[in-house]
Structure 1
Amino acid sequence: MMKLRIIYLLFLLCSTSLLQAENGYELWLRYRPVAKGTSHTSYCMKNQKVMFPGETESLIAARKELQAGLSGLLDIPYTETKVLENNMLVVGTPQSVPLFKQQTFHAEIDGLADEGYLIRSCTIEGKKVTVIAARTDVGVLYGVFHYLRLMQTDHSLDKLHIQENPKLKYRVLDHWDNLNGTVERGYAGYSIWNWERLPSYKEQRYTDYARANASIGINGAVLNNVNAQAKSLRYDWLVKASGLADAFRPYGIKVYLTAKFSAPKEIGGLNTANPKDPQVRKWWKDKVEEIYSLIPDFGGFLVKANSEGQPGPQDYGCSHADGANMLAEALKPYGGIVFWRAFVYQNERHVDRVITGYNEFKPLDGEFADNVFVQPKNGPIDFQPREPFHPLFGGMPDTPLSLELQITQENLGHAGHLVYLGTLFEEILQSDTYEQGKGSTVSKVLQNYQKTHGISAIAGVPNIGTDLNWTGHLFGQANWYAFGRLAWNPDASAGKIAEEWARMTFSNSESVLSPVLKIMMMSRETYVDYTMPLGLNHIMNFGTHNGPEPWHDDPVWTAYDYHKITKDSIGVDRTLKGTGATGQYHVPVCAMFDDIKKCPQEYLLWFHRVPWSYKTASGRSLWNELVHYYYKGVDEVRQMQQIWNELDGQIDRERFEHVASLLKYQEQEAIWWRDGCLLFFQDYSGLPIPANLEQPKHSLKYYKNIPFPHDWKGHYE
């Protein structure tokens, strides 16, 4: 028996050691050898030779990727030839591969969008080949990434006929990176832009960043924080930005900058930034000309104006449209665009913050220039774990809107919690606005701008930093990946995207995929359960946006405006009889949200003020329903730990331990949220936490005194 035990332990040790340690730097582009005998490897072994002419920057980048991918995945040398042979891969455009012009599929290539591509099995000059073709070099690059993704995810490469075009034109990451190397509140660690060494020294990380983005179809990057510094538009800083533009260009990624509205005063020597002042308008035109002299393919400006203390056109009695159109006028000759953020609210206690963005921008519908996007966040407050979709989607038919999503987990546990956001993104994109009747989802509204205005866009605030694995939490990579895939196709399935990422990141083995996907698909709802269930929102720590603070109350900002708690009830009345927020939606949506009996329970306390004794759909009282969800959330984190532990020995030790340790951390913070919130609510409701449940180990005073980063020892009981 002892010998058998020793043999078994040796077997486990040997099998585990075969799993090469990984730190996560390669993201989903790992290119590890695929298992022999799978549905496509035998085909690939025959299909190893490649015809890939062309020497443009983007074609060279595509060729390098194909070489790395095929060599790594097939574990055989990459072989390129100029002679057409059976079972080979032919890659390029009609310009780089002239024989494409003579083929029947040439019409398909002509019908592609600028960034579209074709992957198909066909016969050329009697030879059976696979073609990756596009109208443009960047389209070829996207096609190469798709082909490699098919291999990575164990799809058959036989009898292919894939035609892909992006459904949104501008697919942009809005970095919240500061010029001093920090990132807004530290959500994503520290900035990967090394401004001190730019433009001369371009780190390999910049190329790898561009590769990762191109692999999921992202084609733009705003380099600096929306809370901008004017000096980012100075010549010396523009030269630095041009270095990044040079690094990104082969991968089809344009550089954008956040422009501070007061820049003409701060760095231009003018005494005003009034958008109607001729000198101000000239200053912006001259500045734009200077930018394009350094960055010929500059994308344009992102602007946060008259929000949270930022300067803007309202400082001069002008409208948001006046300010945006001034910048649009300067950019127009060069093909540049403006993203004008609709994240505005009044710091006045008597005004419901939920309604202010709509009220400011709805009257301006149709007044913006044709190269301006108004950019609301996905919900009307501020990137909460769950919000109803922003009523401006479907509410401004004469103005193209860009949807802003948050990939970084500002209000979702930062990089310490495993929360797959693909489901959140899908929830928003598939919300029905009823703008043109049933089926007018946010996704369809965004796509329709391409037909009505010739432009369409989506933006995401990334979670990218200097951590070796880029995102701090390994599973944070999935959120970056999901944003890119949904930006390319907003109607894609979050579940299928999760599976793609899991296959490329871990394994095609069902014994690995099943538990990983189970964790991913439950994780966002789990986070909502242990933090802000039933429509609660904005009760996180005021300073850090992490950890509970429903008790925060000061003259500047108070959580009480977001939960309105009293001894008899909780929630905010945003119905037509309350603040009127429901009236900003089209009739079917308004009617649903306005009626407490029809309102989805996940938005109950968002739209309604509810007595503690209110009977919910489960039959439980509101108090007991809140208790149920908070405890359910903690239990689900523990379930996630158990599921992950099943993978011990099937995933390399470094990544396994990384995730396992963060899940323990997440459990601790979930308990912090549960106990802190319920003890605070209990102070008002006076109702008990059922005795059969795990009772809080500390007093409310203890939780109120936990700082962040928190120390669990030495606090008052």
Structure 2
Amino acid sequence: MTYATDGYKLWMDYKTISDSALLKEYQSLIGSVQTYGNSETMKKATTEIYNGISGILGMKNQKLDGKFSIILGSYNNLPKTIAQQLSQELENLNEEGYLIKSFSNHIVITAKTDIGVLYGTFNFLKRLQTHQSIENLNILDSPKIDLRILNHWDNLDRTVERGYAGFSLWNWHQLPEYKDARYEDYARANASIGINGTVLTNVNSNALVLTPQYLEKVKALADIFRPYGLKVYLTARFSAPIEIGGLTTADPLDANVKAWWKNKVEEIYTYIPDFGGFLVKANSEGQPGPQNYGRNHVDGANMMAEALAPFNGVVMWRAFVYSEHDTTDRAKQAYSEFVPHDGEFQDNVIIQVKNGPIDFQPREPFHPMFGAMPNTNLMIEFQITQEYMGGATHLVYQPKLFEEVFESDTYQKGKGSTVAKVIDGSLDNKKITGVAGVSNIGTDRNWTGHHFLQANWYGFGRLAWNPYLNSEDIAKEWVRMTFTNKEESVNKLTDIMIASREAVVNYMTPLGLHHIMATGHHYGPGPWVSDLSRPEWNPVYYHKADNNGVGFDRTPSGSNATAQYAPEVATMFNNLETCPEQDLLWFHHVPWTYKLKSGHTLWDGLALKYQKGVNEVAEMQATWNQLENEVDTQRFNEVNMLLSIQYKEAKWWRDACLLYFQQFSKMKLPQGVEEPKHTLEYYKSLQFPYAPGIRPQW
């Protein structure tokens, strides 16, 4: 028996358990609910536990009379007889952690703070949703990372840069008076997965958001988000003192500029007393910054940090910088600009570094800055929205990518110095730790434009809380909460998700190819593009295909970008024999006839990878079709149609790329690879002027 759903409830659809035996078991165990504390956060936790239990147990207006009473409350609010039994365990929690413990005839959900209780409430309900035992509970869990933040690339006109799920959630025109109910649903969804911050505005920022007209609108959102532990942050345009402040300069060392930012920050905190701070994109892709005045990133970041410090605000300063004047290797520039300044940034500055050294590609090696700045707070930035992965039409389970990056070994302090240990601060005892994800959320009814892409939002939150979690476990958790608990169906749905990330790598950018998408919208293949005004915007800059081979030489014989990694990592990448084949063309210009580990030539291996990607999407379709009777009709049909688009576009990527590279290899396609249906000129002629997610002009 299935039921229709439009996906709006996300993973918090507390539908009644259909397994009658399990339902009776839960009903016999869950008794009355008692809550202690009257904060707004505790009120949300109380509402959540009642709604969740009544929905899952199908007991909307019936009395709960099971074995265990459910007790919610922070430690200081619990009855002393209960609190005393938990005090020792609570010492092991941080301020956002929680304890779920069963003893006597109670299941106690407690924490040092009320927000911890809310997080624990969602965890307990998840156990019910995923059909786990609720007897003998002793769950102690704290987030391993401080700042767990969504970055919305949303503009004040409600367009979303690299957005594929409708318009921006924030209706600035109607705020602050009209508060859409969806704002609270958004905050609740984030709290359910432990996200504790949201940057409301695009990194390509508009200074107007810092004016009183908009600050009162931001305040309205912050007031809604606060009970859910969700802090508001804003992007700060570096030239704001000129654009809205009437100054003639934005020089970070100018006394008037410093005073302007100090006054502006004080003003913001009168509206939003728990304002989180600023996210800044400076001196990148035409954005203004301290280098406009002969200053450096330290000067700019520390100037803002000094203004925020009295209020415990932070500056998240993005390391995504590259220049048209440095044509050797775009991958090296962030390291070159930031690493020499290790240890010079204020304690409330955290440098936000993309997961890889180029730009959110389907696969990149980890960014060399991780492991190279032990004396600087670093946070990692992932892109949940799929700028380079087919937008919202392609099913790509990105936590698989996030996990791969977190597990990468930087060798900063020898073997085992993983990116996860850099990011959670355990390697160098950092003052602030953080993870950011560029949001994939919009006004589409299902929030993310594709039902399965909800799992990327969900999985990001789970890994931001604990970067050591397993992406397959997260997928199964999400499937059970969102689709079904039937074991066979859970396994099939998980198989689709886990296969999807490697599939997109295979049919778009196998063996380390990267940045070969079409111009502007980044939708579809464009390896032939060579006429853009800046060299590093052109795909030919990255693949360097010629009659001899293909790939970017980043070894000492080329750009020597490998020197930015620890010696053990550099040695591995420099050697053709030890370089992982998944990164081969990222680091080496390889002859077409080079023999891969499979025994195939590079050309044959490349072609077979493209074909494999297409085949993997076909397998995803076949598996999905087996689930027609297990999934409600609406979601089944919608996903089915999107998989058809993905299959068609996987073939488009394969055919266009292989025809282009075949000009240089001059080799036939190997057996097993389908012949393209069209000519290369046909693929070059395709235009998509209104593809979604195009960056607006600023």
State the TM-score, normalized to the length of structure 2. Answer: 0.96
Whether the 8 Å CA contact 1:34–1:41 is kept in 2: the answer is no
Query: What's 2:181 paired with?
Result: 204
Whether the 8 Å CA contact 1:40–1:157 is kept in 2: the answer is no
Query: What's 1:616 paired with?
Result: 596
Paired AA for residue 173 in structure 2: E
Tell me how far apart the structure 2 counterparts of residues 423 and 76 of structure 1 sit (CA, whole Å): 38
What displacement does 1:43 show?
A: 3.7
1:99 aligns with 2:80: yes
1:583 aligns with 2:563: yes
Tell me how far apart the structure 2 counterparts of residues 339 and 396 of structure 1 sit (CA, whole Å): 15
Query: What's 2:333 paired with?
Result: 356
Query: What's 1:287 paired with?
Result: 264
Runs of 4+ aligned structure 1 residues displaced above 4 Å come to 37-41, 78-81
Aligned residue among 61, 66, 70 for 2:44: 61
1:537-552 to 2 correspondence within 5 Å? Answer: 537-552=514-529
Query: What's 1:9 paired with?
Result: none
Aligned residue among 574, 584, 608 for 2:554: 574
Tell me how far apart the structure 2 counterparts of residues 455 and 431 of structure 1 sit (CA, whole Å): 21
Tell me how far apart the structure 2 counterparts of residues 559 and 597 of structure 1 sit (CA, whole Å): 26
1:670-708 deviation line (CA, Å, top 9, x unaligned):
011000000000112111123653211100011011112
Tell me how far apart the structure 2 counterparts of residues 241 and 570 of structure 1 sit (CA, whole Å): 49
Tell me how far apart the structure 2 counterparts of residues 452 and 313 of structure 1 sit (CA, whole Å): 29
1:448-597 to 2 correspondence within 5 Å? Answer: 448=425, 452-554=429-531, 555-556=533-534, 557-597=537-577
Aligned residue among 153, 164, 170 for 1:187: 164
Paired AA for residue 576 in structure 1: P
Q: Secondary structure at the match of 2:76?
A: coil
Paired AA for residue 105 in structure 1: L
What displacement does 1:326 show?
A: 0.4
Paired AA for residue 278 in structure 1: A
Query: What's 1:141 paired with?
Result: 118
Specify whether residues 100 and 182 from structure 1 end up closer, same or farther in structure 2 by C-alpha distance, changes over 3 A only: farther
1:385-396 to 2 correspondence within 5 Å? Answer: 385-396=362-373
Q: Secondary structure at the match of 1:309?
A: coil
Tell me how far apart the structure 1 counterparts of residues 480 and 66 of structure 2 sit (CA, whole Å): 32
Aligned residue among 20, 23, 26 for 2:9: 26
Query: What's 1:5 paired with?
Result: none
Tell me how far apart the structure 1 counterparts of residues 344 and 643 of structure 2 sit (CA, whole Å): 49
How large is the RMSD of aligned CA atoms in angstroms?
A: 1.7
What displacement does 1:363 show?
A: 0.4
Aligned residue among 263, 276, 283 for 1:299: 276
Query: What's 1:3 paired with?
Result: none
Specify whether residues 37 and 99 from structure 1 end up closer, same or farther in structure 2 by C-alpha distance, changes over 3 A only: farther
Whether the 8 Å CA contact 2:30–2:66 is kept in 1: the answer is no
**Farther off after superposition, 550-559 or 163-172:** 550-559
Q: Secondary structure at the match of 1:52?
A: strand
1:218 aligns with 2:195: yes
Query: What's 1:52 paired with?
Result: 35
Tell me how far apart the structure 2 counterparts of residues 102 and 228 of structure 1 sit (CA, whole Å): 48
Aligned residue among 93, 108, 118 for 2:99: 118
Specify whether residues 492 and 24 from structure 1 end up closer, same or farther in structure 2 by C-alpha distance, changes over 3 A only: same
Tell me how far apart the structure 1 counterparts of residues 298 and 63 of structure 2 sit (CA, whole Å): 54
Report percent identity of matched pairs: 53
Whether the 8 Å CA contact 2:162–2:385 is kept in 1: the answer is no
**Farther off after superposition, 344-353 or 656-665:** 344-353
What displacement does 1:35 show?
A: 3.1
Aligned residue among 334, 343, 357 for 1:366: 343
Tell me how far apart the structure 1 counterparts of residues 603 and 328 of structure 2 sit (CA, whole Å): 28
Q: Secondary structure at the match of 1:119?
A: strand
Whether the 8 Å CA contact 1:405–1:459 is kept in 2: the answer is yes
Aligned residue among 651, 665, 681 for 1:671: 651
Specify whether residues 335 and 79 from structure 1 end up closer, same or farther in structure 2 by C-alpha distance, changes over 3 A only: farther
Whether the 8 Å CA contact 1:134–1:140 is kept in 2: the answer is yes
Query: What's 1:705 paired with?
Result: 685
**Farther off after superposition, 688-697 or 558-567:** 688-697
1:453-493 deviation line (CA, Å, top 9, x unaligned):
33211100010001100000111000000000000000000
1:608-634 deviation line (CA, Å, top 9, x unaligned):
000101111110001001110011111
Paired AA for residue 117 in structure 1: Y
1:109 aligns with 2:90: yes
Tell me how far apart the structure 2 counterparts of residues 100 and 410 of structure 1 sit (CA, whole Å): 54
Paired AA for residue 167 in structure 1: K
Whether the 8 Å CA contact 2:164–2:449 is kept in 1: the answer is no
Tell me how far apart the structure 1 counterparts of residues 588 and 91 of structure 2 sit (CA, whole Å): 54
Query: What's 2:694 paired with?
Result: none
Tell me how far apart the structure 1 counterparts of residues 133 and 68 of structure 2 sit (CA, whole Å): 14
What displacement does 1:514 show?
A: 1.4
Tell me how far apart the structure 2 counterparts of residues 708 and 51 of structure 1 sit (CA, whole Å): 57
What displacement does 1:39 show?
A: 5.2
Whether the 8 Å CA contact 1:188–1:472 is kept in 2: the answer is yes
Tell me how far apart the structure 2 counterparts of residues 60 and 698 of structure 1 sit (CA, whole Å): 61
Tell me how far apart the structure 2 counterparts of residues 137 and 147 of structure 1 sit (CA, whole Å): 15
Tell me how far apart the structure 2 counterparts of residues 34 and 661 of structure 1 sit (CA, whole Å): 29
Query: What's 1:337 paired with?
Result: 314
Paired AA for residue 118 in structure 1: L
What displacement does 1:80 show?
A: 8.7
Tell me how far apart the structure 2 counterparts of residues 59 and 41 of structure 1 sit (CA, whole Å): 29
Tell me how far apart the structure 2 counterparts of residues 342 and 692 of structure 1 sit (CA, whole Å): 43
Tell me how far apart the structure 1 counterparts of residues 688 and 17 of structure 2 sit (CA, whole Å): 44
Paired AA for residue 277 in structure 1: D
Tell me how far apart the structure 1 counterparts of residues 4 and 100 of structure 2 sit (CA, whole Å): 34
What displacement does 1:452 show?
A: 2.1
Q: Secondary structure at the match of 2:71?
A: strand
Q: Secondary structure at the match of 1:191?
A: coil
1:87 aligns with 2:68: yes
Q: Secondary structure at the match of 2:154?
A: coil
What displacement does 1:545 show?
A: 1.1
Whether the 8 Å CA contact 2:395–2:643 is kept in 1: the answer is yes
Whether the 8 Å CA contact 1:39–1:156 is kept in 2: the answer is no
Paired AA for residue 214 in structure 2: W
What displacement does 1:189 show?
A: 2.7
1:479-534 deviation line (CA, Å, top 9, x unaligned):
00000000000000001000000000001101311110110010000000000000
Specify whether residues 188 and 649 from structure 1 end up closer, same or farther in structure 2 by C-alpha distance, changes over 3 A only: same
Whether the 8 Å CA contact 1:533–1:626 is kept in 2: the answer is yes
Tell me how far apart the structure 2 counterparts of residues 263 and 450 of structure 1 sit (CA, whole Å): 37
Paired AA for residue 686 in structure 1: K
Q: Secondary structure at the match of 1:632?
A: helix
Query: What's 1:169 paired with?
Result: 146
Query: What's 2:391 paired with?
Result: 414
Unaligned runs of 5+ in 1: 1-17, 712-717
Tell me how far apart the structure 2 counterparts of residues 567 and 349 of structure 1 sit (CA, whole Å): 26
Whether the 8 Å CA contact 1:354–1:380 is kept in 2: the answer is yes
Specify whether residues 68 and 709 from structure 1 end up closer, same or farther in structure 2 by C-alpha distance, changes over 3 A only: farther
Whether the 8 Å CA contact 2:100–2:139 is kept in 1: the answer is yes
Whether the 8 Å CA contact 2:365–2:583 is kept in 1: the answer is yes
What displacement does 1:161 show?
A: 0.3
Paired AA for residue 121 in structure 2: V
Tell me how far apart the structure 2 counterparts of residues 426 and 370 of structure 1 sit (CA, whole Å): 28
Aligned residue among 58, 77, 80 for 1:75: 58
Q: Secondary structure at the match of 1:163?
A: strand
What displacement does 1:53 show?
A: 2.7
Paired AA for residue 87 in structure 1: F
Specify whether residues 235 and 186 from structure 1 end up closer, same or farther in structure 2 by C-alpha distance, changes over 3 A only: same
Query: What's 1:42 paired with?
Result: 25
Whether the 8 Å CA contact 2:608–2:672 is kept in 1: the answer is no
Q: Secondary structure at the match of 1:271?
A: coil
